[in-house]
Structure 1
Amino acid sequence: QAARLVEYLRDRPQDRPLDVACALATTRSPLDHRAVVTGTDRDELMSGLRAVADGEHAANVETGLARGESTTAFLFPGGGAQRLGMGRELAAVHPAFAAAYDEVCAELDQHLDRPLRPMIDGDAEALDQVGYAQAALFAIEVALFRLTESMGLRADFLAGHSTGELAAAHVSGILSLPDAARLVAARGRLMQGLPEGGAMVGINATEDEVRPLLTDGVGIAAVNSPDSVVVSGEAEQAHAVAEHFAAKGVRTKRIRVSHAAHSPLMEPVLEEFRRVAAGLDFQQPRIPIVSTVTGELAAGDDLRTPDYWVRHMRQTVRFRDAVEGLRAEGVTRFVELGPGGVLAAMAQECLAGTPDGNLLVVPLLRKGRSEELACATALAQLHVRGTSPDWKKWFEDRGARPVELPTYAFQRQRYWLEASSAGGDPSTLGLEPADHPLLGAATVLADSEGLLLSGRLSLATHSWLRDHAVGGAVLLPGTAFVELAVHAGGRIGAPALRDLVLHAPLV
C-alpha cells in the first residue's frame, strides 16, 4: 500500500501533504496493521513513506499492530519539568489548547503578584522560582488534557507527581478551576516564602539503601523508580547523604531548586496550607486517581479532605508505587501530559522487565523537540497500537481537505472455482443411480440450458416426479434434498454429514 502511494504521489506534486494525510487518516478504514509517517515537509514525508514501502526502519516512521481494547492512564509531572516558552507552538495551532491555556493562566493570575504567561514565554529566572513554576506547570498540564480531550482521547485513570497531582485533581472533577488555582497558588506562595537554603539530590539507589542515612533535617522526597530516589532537606545534610553514595561510585545529581520540597523544611507552612484547603469545595472524581502519596487507587473521600493535601505537600512522592498501582488496575497505555517527558522515562524504568508486549509509554511533548512534531509522534505511537485520536479534529484545526487517493493494493488473485459444463456423475463418489431415485436425476450448471435437480427435472425419465409437477415444472420439497444428502453421507461413510443435515434447520 505504501509503495502504491509513493508512485501515486510522485505524479501529483500539486497535492498538499496535509491534504493527503487528512484523506489517509479520515477516509480510509483503520485496519489492524498500521503505519504513520511524520514530518515537516514533503521530502521528509516521502522519504518515510519509501521506508515503509521497503520495510526499512526510519526515525519518522511508527508501525504497529492494533491490539484491541486497552486501558489508559494520563501522568502529570511535578516541579522541575517546566521550560521556557512551553506551550507556545501548540497554542498557535490548536484552538482547544490555546483557549484552555489562556483560561487557566487568567485564573491563576488572580492569585499571583504578576502575570504568569509573560514569565512562561520569556523570563527563565522567574519560571525557576517554585511559586511560579508550580503555577506554570499546572496551566500547561490542564491545557494538554483539554487538547487530548478535544481529540477524543480518554483516560481511564490519572496520576500526578507532586504538583502534577493537583492538575489530576482538577481534570478529574475533584476541584473546580477557581478552587484548584487557589490551592496551586497558595502552595507555591507558601513554599516560596520559606527561607532558602534547602537542597534536593537525586541518587541512583534504592529506598532501603538510603533510609538508614536520613536525619531529622533530610527526608526522601520521591521514590521515582526501583533504583532512583530524591533526598530533600537541609542542604549540608542532604549533600552528605549524596556524598556517601558518590564515594561508592553511585551516580548522584543535584537538582536546581530554591526550596527543598517534600522535606522537613515544609513543616512551618503546613497549617496555613491546611486552612486554605479547608475553604475549598471538594467533589467526587469523574476519573479515578492513583495516589502518589499511597501508591494505590484513591478510595472514598481520600482526595476530598484538606488533610490529604497537607500530607501530599509534606510526604514522599511514591511514583514507583503509583505506576505499579496503575498496572494492578490493568493500565497498558501511559501518556505523560507535560512539557518534557521526564515522567515517561521514569515510568519506563518502573516497567522494565514487565512481560507484556502491549505496554506503551508515551510523552505528549519532549524536551528539545518541536511541540507540534512531538505531539504528532505521540499520537502516531498511540494510533499504530490501537488507541486512535479523532483525526478529523486534528486536521480540521489546520484547514485540511481530503484529496483523491489510489485504490487499495489488493492482491487480485482469483479464488472462485472455474465453471464447468459437465453434469454431475454420482459414480465418481462411489454411488450408483440405482441406490436412490434422486441420484439418477440430471444435475447441470445454472448457466447452461439443461435442467436442475432443484429446478425442472425430466418427467419423461423420472415418472415418480409426476406427483411434484406444477404447471409442467417439478417443484421438489426441501425434505427430499435432506433425504438425498443423508443417503449420500451414509453411502460414502460420512456420519458427520448426516448429523449436520439432520440437525440443520430448513430454510
Structure 2
Amino acid sequence: LVDARGRLMAALPAGGAMIAVRAPEAEVTAELPDGVCLAAVNGPDSVVLSGDARVVQAYAEKWPRPKKLRVSHAFHSHHMDGMLDAFADVVRNLTFSRPEIALPGDVEDPAYWVRQVREPVRFLDTLRTLRSRGIRTFAELGPDAALSAMGPQCVPDAVFVPALRPSGGATEPRDAVTALARLHVRGAAVDWAALLPGARPVDLPTTAFQRERYWLRDSGTGTAPVGSGLTPDGHPLLAGVVDLPDGGRVHTGSLSTASHPWLADHVVAGTPLVPGTALLDLALHAADRAGAGPVDELVLREPLVVPDGHAALLRVHITPPDAAGRRTLTIASRAGDADTDPWTTRAEGTLAAPGAGVPHE
C-alpha cells in the first residue's frame, strides 16, 4: 500500500503548490476558485490549499502571512487524479484486516485509501472525534513535534506527547524515554519490562511530598557591562577583570540575597555572613586567571555581612609578582548603594609562584 502510493505519486508530473493559511475552513471554501482544492484542515483557523500554483498563490494572498510548503507535488488535489485508477487496482488486490490498535476511519475498506489520496486531511475533525470518545492523551510518532504543536488548537484540554523533537542526534534516546515517562504518568500502559529488562518497581516513601523546591537557583556568572573595559570573568560573584599597568589585576563584582539566595542560609549568631570558603574560592579563581601559583595563605580579616535589601560590591586585587614570582591578594567590599563609603578589607593573602607546591599540614 505505502510503496504503491509513493511510487505512483512520484511518477506524476511535478508542479502545483501547497500553501498554509490562517483562516477557518468555512471562510476559505466559501469562494474556492477553480484550480484550488482544500488539502487539509489542521485547526479551527488553519487550513492548507493545494492545486495550480498561480491560482493557489493568488487566492492564499487574501489572508495575512500565507506559508508556502516545500513539496514536490500538489497533494490532496486534482493533481493526484492521474494516479487514482492505478492505485485503486493495487489496493483491490490487497488483504485488509482489522487493526490491533483502533483507528478512526473505515481503514478496512480499500476505497478509503483511494479517497485519502484525493480528499482533505481532516486533522481537526479526527482529534475532536477521538476526544469525544474520552481520549485526552495523544502520542506523536515521527521525527519532530509538528502535530503536537497543532494539537492544542484543536482540543485544548488534551495533552500531546511527541516521541522525538527536532534537535535529534544524541538526544533521541532520551527524548523517546522521556515521552514514555510522560505517557506513563498520564495513565498509558507502558511495557517497561521490554525497555528495562530485569528492572522492578520500588516503593516510594510513605510521607507525602510537600511540593516545595529546595534546589538552588543558578545565578549564572557575572556579566561585564559593554564598553566598561572589563573582560568577562566567568565567576558567579565576579562580573569582570581588568589588567593594571603595573602587572596587577583587579576583579570586580557584586553579591546579594536576590542574585545569590543561598547566601541567606549561612547564618552565624543570627546574622547572615558570606562563608569563608566563598572568599577562598574568589582567591583561587583570581589566582588561576592570573596564572599564579596556588593560594599559599589567606587570612580572614573581617566578616562580610550579607546586605539586607541591596547588593555589596566586591573587589579582588592582585599585585604584580615580586622577584620570586609571589603575589599578594586583597579581597574588599563596600555597600553597593553608597559610593562614598570606604572599601573594607575582608581577607588578604599570598599567592605562590607559578609551579610552586603548597605543603599540606
User: What TM bracket, shorter-length normalisation?
Assistant: 0.5 to 0.7
- Counterpart of 1:216 in structure 2 is 34
1:202 CA drift (Å): 0.7
Q: 1:229 to 1:391 in 2, by over 3 A?
A: same
Matched, 1:408 2:222: no
In structure 2, how many angstroms separate the alpha carbons of the residues matched to 1:402 and 1:265? 55
Matched, 1:365 2:164: yes
Of 95, 114, 119 in structure 2, the residue corresponding to residue 281 of structure 1 is 95
Matched, 1:379 2:175: no
User: Identical aligned pairs, as a percentage?
Assistant: 45
In structure 2, how many angstroms separate the alpha carbons of the residues matched to 1:407 and 1:311? 52
Matched, 1:321 2:120: no
Matched, 1:306 2:116: no
1:410 CA drift (Å): 4.6
Q: Residues 93-492 of structure 1: matches in 2 within 5 Å?
A: 183-245=1-63, 250-291=64-105, 302-352=106-156, 354=157, 359-369=158-168, 370-396=171-197, 408=205, 410=207
1:371 CA drift (Å): 1.2
Which structure dedicates a bigger proportion of its chain to strand? 2
Which runs of no fewer than 5 residues in structure 1 stay unpaired?
1-182, 292-301, 412-507
1:287 CA drift (Å): 2.8
1:288 partner letter = A
Contact 1:220 1:316 in 2 (8 A): yes
Q: 1:406 to 1:329 in 2, by over 3 A?
A: closer
Which runs of no fewer than 5 residues in structure 2 stay unpaired?
209-361
2:60 partner letter = A
In structure 2, how many angstroms separate the alpha carbons of the residues matched to 1:307 and 1:190? 16
In structure 1, how many angstroms separate the alpha carbons of the residues matched to 2:31 and 2:38? 10
In structure 2, how many angstroms separate the alpha carbons of the residues matched to 1:323 and 1:410? 39
In structure 1, how many angstroms separate the alpha carbons of the residues matched to 2:172 and 2:31? 41
Residue 20 of structure 2: SS of its match in structure 1? strand
Q: 1:243 to 1:373 in 2, by over 3 A?
A: same
1:280 partner letter = L
- Counterpart of 1:166 in structure 2 is none
Alignment deviations for residues 2-34 of structure 1 (CA, whole Å, 9 cap, x no partner): xxxxxxxxxxxxxxxxxxxxxxxxxxxxxxxxx
Residue 272 of structure 1: SS of its match in structure 2? helix
Q: 1:287 to 1:391 in 2, by over 3 A?
A: closer
Pairwise CA RMSD of aligned residues? 2.3
TM-score, normalisation: structure 1? 0.38
1:361 CA drift (Å): 1.4
Alignment deviations for residues 164-192 of structure 1 (CA, whole Å, 9 cap, x no partner): xxxxxxxxxxxxxxxxxxx1111111111
- Counterpart of 1:86 in structure 2 is none
How many residues get paired?
206
Q: 1:402 to 1:335 in 2, by over 3 A?
A: closer
1:344 partner letter = S
Q: 1:284 to 1:388 in 2, by over 3 A?
A: closer
1:265 CA drift (Å): 0.8
Residue 304 of structure 1: SS of its match in structure 2? coil
In structure 1, how many angstroms separate the alpha carbons of the residues matched to 2:20 and 2:31? 14
Contact 1:213 1:241 in 2 (8 A): no
Q: 1:204 to 1:373 in 2, by over 3 A?
A: same
In structure 2, how many angstroms separate the alpha carbons of the residues matched to 1:223 and 1:394? 36
Residue 61 of structure 2: SS of its match in structure 1? helix
Contact 1:242 1:252 in 2 (8 A): yes
1:407 CA drift (Å): 8.2
Residue 121 of structure 2: SS of its match in structure 1? coil
In structure 1, how many angstroms separate the alpha carbons of the residues matched to 2:113 and 2:203? 57
1:255 partner letter = L
Contact 1:216 1:264 in 2 (8 A): no
Which structure dedicates a bigger proportion of its chain to helix? 1
1:204 CA drift (Å): 0.9
1:227 CA drift (Å): 0.6
Runs (4 or more) in structure 1 with deviation over 4 Å come to: 400-403
1:264 CA drift (Å): 1.0
1:366 partner letter = R
2:53 partner letter = A
TM-score, normalisation: structure 2? 0.53
Q: Flag the structure with more relative contact order, 1 or 2, with Cα contacts below 8 A and sequence separation at least 6.
A: 1
Of 368-377 and 196-205, more deviation after overlay is shown by 368-377
Q: 1:408 to 1:257 in 2, by over 3 A?
A: same
Contact 2:131 2:155 in 1 (8 A): no
Alignment deviations for residues 284-339 of structure 1 (CA, whole Å, 9 cap, x no partner): 33332113xxxxxxxxxx33333221111100111100001101111121111111
Contact 2:39 2:77 in 1 (8 A): yes
In structure 2, how many angstroms separate the alpha carbons of the residues matched to 1:244 and 1:340? 30
In structure 2, how many angstroms separate the alpha carbons of the residues matched to 1:243 and 1:361? 31
